[in-house]
Chains A and B, each alone.
Chain A
Amino acid sequence: MPEESVNQGRHGLPPQGVSGTSPGHDSAQKHVSGEALFVDDYPLPAGALHAYVALGAKARGRVTSLDLSRVRSADGVVDVLVLDDIPGSSDVGQVFAGDPIMVNPGDELMFSGQVLFAVAATSHKLARRAARLAEVTFDALPADITIEEGLAHQNFVGQAYTQQRGDAASAIAAAENVLKGELHIGGQEHLYLESQVSLCVPEEDGGMLVYSSTQSPSDVQRLVAAVLDIPMNKVIVDVRRIGGGFGGKETQATQWACIAALLAKKTGRAMKLRLSRSEDMPATGKRHNFLSRYSVGFDNAGQILGLDMQLTAGCGYSADLSDAVIHRAMFHADNAYYLPAARIEGRQVRTHTVSSTAFRGFGAPQAMLSIESIIDNIARAVGKDPLEVRKLNFYCAEEGRDRTHYGQKIDQHVMHRLVNRLEKTSDYKNRRKDIMTFNASSPVLKKGLSLTPVKFGIAFTQTHLNQAGALLHIHKDGSIEINHGGTEMGQGLFTKVAQVIATEFQVDLQTIKCAPTRTDKVPNTSPTAASTGSDLNGMAARNAALKIKKRLIRFAAKHFGVSTAEVFFANQQLIAGARKIAFAELAQLAYLNRVSLSATGYYRTPKVNYDKDTATGRPFLYYVNGAAVSEVLVDSLTGEYKVTRVDICEDVGQPLNPALDRGQIEGGFIQGMGWLTSEELVWDDQGRLESRDLSRYKIPTAGDVPQVFNIELLPDSSNTELTIYHSKAVGEPPLMLAISVWNALRDAISSISNYQFNPDLDAPATPERVYLACGEMISRAAR
């Protein structure tokens, strides 16, 4: 910010862009003009090279030989990296060990897509071409590709867990009605538009400056240091912006940064490693696929009496984050429903596929899909509209129906109000009637409708991750610079944190610069994940601001001879009794009077705890609630369908930025819709990813957006917890609103049997699966 523009600021006017208003994304102008630089766009230092990796082709086998002579002599090649070249650790597992950075001859190749070696060349194209020239021989080993195959061999990446309340088996046995079922739920490719990329620049004293598109700079820092065998203080990780993350760059960015760093060290030259899409897709982890089995007992009204649910996650070849994913799945097996007796089991199956990893929702979507399918099945069994059965089973403050199966008490009951409101605004009842009439007279086309809720717990379930730091500078011209540990991946975190600072000092948002996330500015950061970005970093930044505010207020009180109670910030000024001073002048004055204008801020989330041994505690600070109504039109002759209308009501507390929140809701919904509809991961029987490029893996397009798409932020819903300005998190929960699409499809299919039978519909509900379910429904109805 040039000095004069601050000094000539609009003193005395209310500040622009404070919390609760909707300034645009801090980079929006730069995005649309092309000025926003992503790592692949950075000008390269002189002599910079391009690295690339060679991936194994088989699912599982032993590498018996690796002849790199043609690679070394290929056009443009400068150097090659094999496992034996690595000075430090060769395991890039972020939480648990077990993720080898590459494999040596003699080692086991655990999945198709595992890295064999890396090559450095003078261009991306030459490096990529050279990487394909190795002569590799394998001995194939038997591979487990599906969850069932992994289960058959009792092959797990981690232990099984159980959460239990009461005696579910007896409750189910004693119930008037019992349903059992099984559901296969597919994984999901993140498909961040910017593929994995790192640029490593060797620095003096053996250090390394790493530009990485990562959600977890401190983990990249730690593991780059580990592979290079140097202390963490010699590695700086810098992240300005990420071209889409969604969890896919929480652990999955690390390996590429480490390989680039190793080659940079080996050659002494700057090194860029960008994966092309056709290598990014087979080599990086995806959402876990799940197998869900359940048995539920309920009364004739549809009230659940007992639930036994077994959630089995397909974890791929290594543990990665699966332990935390299976926990979050188990924590959301109830979704919004009170389970009087419950036994929830979580298992982590090893398969010989790429390691499954974090993805928006982190296990919760799969568990929620399971319980939401159960609710619909109960409704059809008791002959009620599923919405009635949902309401009947919601948590509520009365009769002790406010405690989850893992013991957390729900303090703020939002769901009833939210769903009643949405039911009205979406005209649910009338549309339900109209749809029944339509379906009765339409033999081929069938309509479906569903309202599903989402209750999502906010906090990292690994308690220690719930901390954040910030570094705030006020320069003497009054311009403000904020660093924090969160990364900007499009969600608008930088904008929201700047809004917090603007609010504290009552200055224009333009006064504040969000600096790139850097591990030498704010250390030991948690990944930007679990929807906690603005909760954690907003609070840490605010705490830094409060420190400086306190100093400034004390100084001004003394300087102007008033009491501290008479000093406050308003309209881009400091007001001290009768005196008013522009913020920029205040900064200058404070500097001249030797007041520190720099501070760190720190925040740790209060109240959270969880005991894995007793499987009880309070893993979350609070819950975010939301609900969606989706309507679909299905062609039963082909299985093709359209989502014709969607209405959403989402609880974001007192929003920091309603426009950015709406963006998260819409974007999350469409991403969730993709997961449950057209996005199908397919592996061949040898474990090679068949859906390995964008001609074979289909995320939603503009044409898939429902023509009617109404979004409302629930009004008057301040967070009762002391979060940043009583806002609520918004990143992940909206993804699960798309479960309503899947349920609406089942509703449409079930209409073929006049809602007598429950369709068997695995996820994703591709046209083929919908067609098969329609066919099954037609034959069952005819019987």
Chain B
Amino acid sequence: MIKFLVNQVESEVVDLDPNTTLLEYLRDHLHRCGTKEGCGTGDCGTCTVVIGQAEGDGLHYQAVNACMTLIGSLHGKQLITLEDLSCGDGLHPVQQALVDCHASQCGFCIPGVAMSLFAYRKNHQKPDRASIIQALEGNLCRCTGYRPMIDAAMKMFETDDKDIFSESKASVTGILNKIQRENSQVSLKAGGKSYFAPASIQSLSSLLLEQPRARLVAGGTDLCLEITQSLQEIDVLISLERVRELGSISRKKDFLEIGAAVTFSGARQELTALYPHLSGLIDRLGSLQIRNTGTLAGNIATASATGDMSAALIAMGARLRLRRGDESRSIRVEDFFVGPKTTALSRSEFIEQIRVPVPANPRFFRVYKISKRTAVDISSTCGAFNLCLDGNVVRSVTIAFAGMAEIPKRAKHCEQELLGQELCEATVKRAMQALAQDFTAISDVRATAEYRLEVSRNLLRRLFIEYGCVPGHSRGSHLA
């Protein structure tokens, strides 16, 4: 059984196929058809809903894609959909602002837009264009050109934040905390399919030993595609979400420890405190909805060739802590990827933590992502560069790329050309040339092999310019 709130109404789901997405649940079971399906792949945001989660005495709202959310993950949360915003005949200030700004034309994307803006309203004291755009980039609109939506996001702040949600905050938080405290077995079983959400790492690891063929849900933004697009039915799903030990992020002396259930949104602040330049990458990984759901560990475990974050983690020298039963081991991220979609994980083994080293100073860290579209796109190439320089002399260097090989991978030949050398035109040229030894890129729908290689080389040049050892570049070398 799983328990959650539909707005303020306590709901239970007992015998529902755990392969059911939240979108199917809303439309086919609750007949709440305000939430629409635009793509079913987490790319358009039309199905955006808001999930409220208790955090101590507070309530935190996040926009997520209902098509990328398995029903089991609703446990202990508050579900808010478009239907909940209007109160009687009156529109919520978010909805009213959209009407006032002429932000709907065909109206199909607007439910998702309204929910993204509702979450934005709840999470911001005052609006600014950059963060509004971040909040809207995961919502595609084909009619309006977005300007009226951006205006509506500004306008909705003209009304104060008092609404049925602020009024019911205490009671909702109380109920959610109560559901979390009830130490009931959180699981769903129907039609031979099961979903488990263990609460401790101990029960997770024993469950995995019992069920070696189970699929882990760590966000599920990739897994959902197998269900909704490949139309597969997964027999056993085990969610990491409730595992106490995996949900936290903590700063140790020499490293940052990120639990396997921590989302991109959850890790952003701590990661960018250590590596400020990482913000430009994190904000371009999927949409806000995806970052609110997807986890770093899940992203690593899918072993995608275009895992931008994996490239960055390799460059940072991050390690993974893996666990099987009671046994743990540590492995470098770069050694974790064995081949296309293949990892070093053995049967019943899982990622417990990611450990990101605290950078030693002076450190020059950069990560550059190139894609056809700036936001919510998969990289043509993504280069991460971690250098320690003494003046212009390279004392240490780790460089990794995603999108350039079957797995995210280090550019060791390139590193060799830089290590111990003085950064100058000749050195950089040699390093650029060496990339061809490190990678044999492929051509696909996103880019040709030639472009991938040449631009990856030019990212080295950009790095060199940004370090400031090339004269004549006061005008800048980077759009961001």
Contact = CB atoms under 8 A, between A and B. Distances in A.
Interface of A: 22, 24-25, 27-38, 40-41, 43, 123, 125, 128-129, 132, 190-195, 241-246, 276-278, 438, 441-445, 489-492, 633, 635, 637-642, 659-660, 662-663, 666-671, 678, 680, 682, 690-691, 693-696, 698-705, 707, 709, 766-768, 771-772, 775
A659 B102 contact: yes
B136 A771 contact: no
A703 B137 contact: yes
A638 B142 contact: no
Q: Interface residues of B toward A: which range?
A: 35 or more
Contacts of A642: 374, 479
A121 to B, nearest CB: 12
B110 A31 contact: yes
A663 B111 contact: no
A443 B473 contact: yes
Interface in B33-79: 33-41, 43-44, 46
B432 to A, nearest CB: 11
Contacts of A698: 372-373, 377
Given A28-B99, A38-B36, A638-B459, A243 B475 contact: no
Given A490-B105, A490-B143, A705 B150 contact: yes
Contacts of A443: 472-473, 475
Interface in B365-402: 370-378, 380
A490 B91 contact: no
Interface string B102-121: 10111111110010000000
B240 interface: no
A669 B102 contact: no
Given A438-B475, A699-B142, A702-B149, 10 more contacts: A27-B104, A31-B98, A31-B104, A32-B82, A444-B465, A663-B105, A695-B41, A702-B133, A702-B375, A767-B370
Interface in B162-209: none
A635 B144 contact: no
B451 A772 contact: yes
B456 to A, nearest CB: 10
B370 to A, nearest CB: 6
B462 A637 contact: yes
A42 to B, nearest CB: 9
Given A31-B110, A670-B145, A442 B140 contact: no
B362 interface: no
B359 interface: no
Contacts of B44: 193, 694
Contact of B145 (A693, A705, A775): A705
A101 to B, nearest CB: 24
Contacts of B137: 701-703
Most buried by B among A36, A241, A691: A36
Contact of B376 (A129, A671, A701): A701
B461 interface: yes
Contact of B108 (A38, A123, A704): A38
A34 B105 contact: no
B107 A702 contact: no
B477 A445 contact: yes
Nearest to A190: B142
Interface string B300-338: 000000000000000000000000000000000000000
B110 A32 contact: yes
B149 A34 contact: no
Given A33-B86, A490-B107, A705 B147 contact: yes
Given A490-B106, A638-B458, A702-B136, A32 B380 contact: no
B344 interface: no
B444 interface: yes
A253 to B, nearest CB: 14
Most buried by B among A34, A195, A659, A698: A34
B458 A29 contact: no
B33 A37 contact: yes
B105 A491 contact: yes
A241 B372 contact: no
B445 A193 contact: no
A707 B129 contact: yes
6 contacts: A28-B104, A32-B111, A41-B33, A701-B140, A704-B374, A705-B146
A244 B446 CA distance: 26
B419 interface: no
A662 B147 CA distance: 11
B95 A32 contact: yes
B148 A663 contact: yes
Contact of B136 (A192, A701, A775): A701
A640 B479 CA distance: 8
B43 A695 contact: yes
A206 B288 CA distance: 50
A190 to B, nearest CB: 8
A753 to B, nearest CB: 18
Contacts of B33: 34, 37, 40-41
A195 B109 CA distance: 12
Interface in B445-462: 445-448, 451, 454-455, 458-459, 461-462
Contacts of A669: 145
Nearest to A42: B33
B85 interface: yes
B413 to A, nearest CB: 21
B370 A640 contact: yes
A466 to B, nearest CB: 25
A126 to B, nearest CB: 10
B106 to A, nearest CB: 3
Given A24-B102, A125-B231, A492-B105, A193 B475 contact: no
A25 B110 CA distance: 13
Contacts of B83: 33-34
Contacts of A24: 99-100, 102
A663 B146 CA distance: 10
Given A702-B139, A702-B146, A704-B374, A25 B39 contact: no
Contacts of A680: 372, 445
Contacts of A36: 107
A701 B44 CA distance: 10
A699 B140 contact: yes
A191 B83 CA distance: 26
A241 B106 contact: yes
A125 B25 CA distance: 13
A277 B41 CA distance: 9
B455 A638 contact: yes
Q: Which 10 A-B pairs have the closest CB atoms?
A: A34-B34, A490-B106, A31-B107, A243-B108, A442-B475, A694-B43, A490-B105, A670-B145, A41-B33, A698-B373
Contacts of A31: 98, 104, 107, 110-111
B102 A243 contact: no
Contacts of B141: 193
A360 to B, nearest CB: 10
Contact of B461 (A191, A193, A491, A637): A637
B99 A690 contact: no
Most buried by A among B28, B46, B371, B451: B451
Contact of A694 (B41, B82, B474): B41
B126 interface: no
A193 B82 contact: no
Contacts of A492: 105
Contacts of A245: 106
